[in-house]
Structure 1
Amino acid sequence: MGWHGVFRRWVLARHYRLAREALVPHFFDALTAYALELARLGLPHAKEAVAALRELRTLPLPSFTGEVEDVFFSIQAQLAEHWGEEVAGAVRRGLSRNDLDLTVFRAYLRDRTLALLGDLLRLRRAVLRLAARVEGVVVVLYTHHRPAQPSTLDHYLLGVESLLSRDTERLFRALSNVNRSPLGASALAGCPYPVDRRRLAALLGFEGPVENTLDAVASGDYALELAAALQTLGASLSRLLTDLLFWAGRGAFLVGEGLSQGSSLMPQKQNPVVLEHARIYAGRLMGSLEALAFLNHNTPFTDLNDHSTGVLEPLAAALEAGEAALELTRAALEEGAFVQKALMEELSPEVLASEAVDLLVRKGIPLPEAYRRVRGALPGLRPELLGVDREELLSWVSLPAFLARREVLGGVGPKARAQALSRAKRRLKEDQKALAGLRARVRLARRWLQHLQPEEGQEGAEEKGQVEGKERQK
């Protein structure tokens, strides 16, 4: 009996296409690791299955025809056709599509998240380089959509980088839960053969296995956590992009020529469209969590499809949106230019009124009275209404004096900004080192999966661990 046309279109063909385009290498990795483990246990034909899988992965996988329902069975059909039923059957001993699929999905999401983290670290590096380049450039910042106080552009950018560093932490934490192997959990109760699940995880570059075998195939929280981290990143990027668009609208931030578009009607206009498109992608990140939450809501703990195949497409789309938002934002910052005069356009005595209040308080005037005097002296902070010497007032509310009084931790004072930049660079370097270690683990695992011989057994896995340690130290 053939598949119903509707089922073929909306389920089988769609899932097969996604798997063929994105998941095939991970299927071969997981199947090869499992065959290596069965070979270590001495199961017949497992060694031949390892060799067959390594050869088959170099060949293109056929497109969906409806003869088999998914990529796993397509691989199985080719193994059976070219290497025989016994070799094809060997790798299936104790293996379920439940633990295989979830292992593949997690490996795919891990690799995509590592790529996203690389983009995020590059954006942070660009922000810090820009902060060093615009050190001391004064900008009037807003609260409640009104000019509030002067600051410096590097102080603003250091604040943005600090926010992005926490987004990095959240993604690392989410990745740590994604980066766990379900392989060996079988359908849900565990593999009937004494496979070493920790070794399977190591062979695939995972940090370790998901311990409980039902949890390994039934839980969807790893996807929810990743989506939540992506959603928060989207909010962070959107806030930065909103500010950049505000400055661009006032001529205080000029987008690079290759990132802007002219008007179809008005020849005088050059539109900062890169910022708008980056914000669109950031907005897509904001909606990623809701879809995954619904897929996990009200599903029995033993149901799989809702939070396995169901979450893969929205998560993949969210990761793609994240990469786009990060790259477009970085390009805008690297190719753009701030205009100092426009940034200071609203610099006036009014934005330094709080300094006049402080001056009066230091002279012994009660705070409520000082506040009333300054309100009465506006606009212009007229010294005769404040009861202070004009020269003293001008000296106190000058920009250098304003900055010099703010040498607190994280403040806008020159020394505080220099120290913050130094700390941010160290923090970024540590995150880059952590990312390099994770990438090295995955890269070495792939190398070993393609070349490790079955008879090397546990000694080979131990040697792999030593090589990984040396690689991470470099």
Structure 2
Amino acid sequence: MARWHRVFRRWVLARHYRFAREALVPHFFDALTAYALELSRLGVPHAKEAVAALRELRTLPLPSFTGEVEDVFFSIEAQLLEHWGEEVAGALRRGLSRNDLDLTVFRAYLKDRALLLLGDLLRLRKALLARARAHFGVPLVLSTHHRPAQPTTLDHYLLGVEALLARDTERLFRALSGMDRSPLGASALAGNPYPVDRRRLAHLLGFAGPVEHTLDAVASGDYALELAAALALLGTSLTRLATDLLRWAEAGAFLVGESLAQGSSFMPQKRNPVVLEHARIYAARLLGGVGTLLALNHNTPFTDLNDHSTGVLEPLSELLEAGEGALELLWVALEESQFVEERLLSELSPEVMASEAVDLLVRKGLPLREAYARVKAALPGVRPETLGVEREELLHWMGLEGFFARREVLGGAGPRARAEALSEAERRLKEDQKRLGALRARVRAARFLLARGLEDPQAEEGQEGEVG
């Protein structure tokens, strides 16, 4: 008689096993190898043989789900039992719980995915800055409340978007720092009965350090909520950029590349900017993740997170995939499309410059309320005879060159201010690239050693001793 009911097999065991087999197996071997190395250092019998066994076993394909074992960990253990015997397989189980093992694996997997996403985000920021430099000083009119408002320049707009994405980057780095802590050695919840060095275990796995409190390590789960929240905020930023690009595409001011556009099955004149529509769809998916993660954690006892943590992992994996899709599609849209400069300024009119006329009258000594009312009465067209100023003076004051020259405040649309902002944004991006590179290098170095069953000779030495 089969041990597992077919419904339970279908919706729980087989589903989770399939996900773990496809996505988590390397991280299971990393965590188990680090743990075996630590037990070997402590002198646990047969732990050294377990390190060698794991090194060999990780090169072989893991069996598909058959129902004989319930998850990937027990599948690995079954092979250790079959090929290396009870003593080797048993050595690996000394003090180890699936609680700390699974949570370590989940964090390592999500950390890898978050590093990939951060790379995509930095690439999009780089593309925005490249476009800002290429279109430096190109004027355009931006809207507020869906109506033409004020002129600025394309580089000023792109730098504003990049500044928002730089904060999204920082939020993801903060979420990553929460994931970058290892639960290994916490055991079920009260701590390991063997004197394992949890800081050393974290170091071996390429984590910044351990989650220090053993119950917190296996019960909290806020690292997943922080990631979902950071992704939701990124999603809102990306949808706003996509919406603006779609608006410009509608006006013919942003011409999507041929390889990213689709025609109509009925209307031959259509060149639809569908890459932007799909980017917005992927970005929109990021917004709902926080609700899912909050619901999974809400009212869960503080000793029972591991029972639903695979349920946390799968939606987070889907969110990260959606984030990658949105970022890559927006990046390629910027790379393969063109801004049509003359179309960006199509909404320029005397009305758009009306606030400058108000400022001119105020500078001449008119009270602000009276100047505002007089300019409003002079619309449409801002007629100089109504304002009581010379036509040439008004035209000069309301020109784009003067408009930008008067806005040399920090972060403003003036040429010097924009140049300084661009230089600062490029510096900030380089710092973030270095930061990401250092994190990736740490993970790669740890993974290289673990795949070979080796310890980092620079790892902090703990107390040695035989453990029976």
Contact (CA 8 Å) 2:200, 2:460: kept in 1 or not? no
Aligned partner of 2:27 in structure 1 is 26
Query: Are 1:359 and 2:357 matched, yes or no?
Result: no
CA distance in 2, matches of 1:35, 1:265: 65
Shift in alpha-carbon separation, 1:338–1:227, aligned structure 2, 3 A: same
Question: Is contact 1:220-1:307 (8 Å) kept?
Answer: no
Aligned to 1:222: 223
Mapping for residues 432-443 of structure 1, pairs under 5 Å: 432-443=433-444
| Partner SS state of residue 206, structure 1 | coil
Separation in structure 2 between the aligned mates of residue 449 and residue 256 of structure 1, nearest angstrom: 45
Match of 2:459, SS state, is: helix
Is 1:16 aligned to 2:11, yes or no?
no
Who is 2:464 aligned against?
Answer: none
Look up the SS of the partner of 1:346 in the other structure. Answer: coil
Structure 2 length normalisation: TM-score?
Answer: 0.97
- 1:388 partner letter: V
Q: What is the DSSP-based 3-state SS (H/G/I as helix, E as strand, rest coil) of the residue aligned with 1:60?
A: coil
Q: How does 1:48-447 map to 2 (within 5 A)?
A: 48-305=49-306, 307-447=308-448
If asked which structure has higher relative contact order (CA below 8 Å, sep 6+), I would say 2
One-letter identity of the residue aligned with 1:19: A
Equivalent residues of 1:292, 1:307 under 8 A apart: no
Q: Secondary structure at the match of 2:149?
A: strand
Equivalent pair of 1:128/1:161 in contact (CA under 8 Å): yes
CA deviation map 1:187-213 (0-9, x unaligned): 000000000000000000001100110
Whole-angstrom distance in 2 between the partners of 1:111 and 1:226? 13
Q: Which amino acid aligns with 1:5?
A: R
| Inter-partner Cα distance in structure 1 for 2:380 and 2:458 | 78
> 2: distance between equivalents of 1:38 and 1:29?
14
> Does residue 461 of the first structure (1) align with residue 462 of the second (2)?
no
1:310 CA displacement: 1.3
**How far 1:447 moved relative to its partner?**
1.3
Cα shift at 1:462: 4.3
Cα offsets for 1:96-138 (capped at 9, x unmatched): 0000000000000000000000000000000000101111111
Unaligned runs of 5+ in 2: 462-468
* Contact 2:239/2:284 (8 A) holds in 1: yes
Amino acid aligned to 1:252: A
Post-superposition offset of 1:306: 5.3
Unaligned runs of 5+ in 1: 464-474
Letter of the aligned partner of 1:11 in structure 2? Answer: V
State the distance in 1 between where 2:260 and 2:132 align: 21
The amino acid of 2:185's aligned partner reads G
Asked if 1 retains the 8 angstrom alpha-carbon contact of 2:103 and 2:306, the reply is no
Query: Deviations along 1:336-364, whole A, 9 cap, x unmatched?
Result: 11111211111001000000000000000
CA contact (8 A) 1:299 1:306 kept: no
Conserved? CA contact 2:128–2:334, under 8 Å: yes
Shift of residue 452, structure 1, vs aligned partner? 4.9
Judge which range, 333-342 or 72-81, deviates more. Answer: 333-342
* Offset from partner CA, 1:245-264 (integer Å, 9 cap, x none): 11111111110100010001
Deviations, residues 209-251 of structure 1 (Å, cap 9, x unaligned): 0011000000111000000000000000000000011111111
Aligned counterparts of 2:210 and 2:24: Cα–Cα separation in 1: 20
Q: Which amino acid aligns with 1:74?
A: S
SS of equivalent residue, structure 1 residue 331: helix
Question: CA contact under 8 A between 1:28 and 1:57: conserved in structure 2?
Answer: yes
Aligned residue type for 1:126: A
CA contact (8 A) 1:48 1:87 kept: yes
Change in 2 beyond 3 A, CA 1:398/1:329: same
Contact 1:174-1:225 within 8 A present in 2 as well: yes
CA contact (8 A) 1:405 1:413 kept: yes
Q: Deviations over 1:404-460 (max 9, x none)?
A: 00000000000000000000000000000000000010001011212354xx6x855
AA aligned opposite 1:132: R
3-state secondary structure, aligned to 2:352: helix
Cα distance per residue 1:154-196 (max 9 Å; x no partner): 0000000000000000000000001110000000000000000
Alignment length (residue pairs): 460
1: CA distance, partners of 2:183 / 2:307: 17
Contact 1:452 1:460 in 2 (8 A): no
Q: Deviation at 1:153?
A: 0.5
Q: 1:305: Cα distance to partner?
A: 3.7
Residues in 1 aligned to 2:294 and 2:409: alpha-carbon distance in whole angstroms: 42
Give the structure-1-normalised TM-score.
0.96
Task: Give the Cα separation in 2 of the matches to 1:88 and 1:279.
Answer: 49
Question: Where does residue 468 of structure 1 map in the other structure?
Answer: none
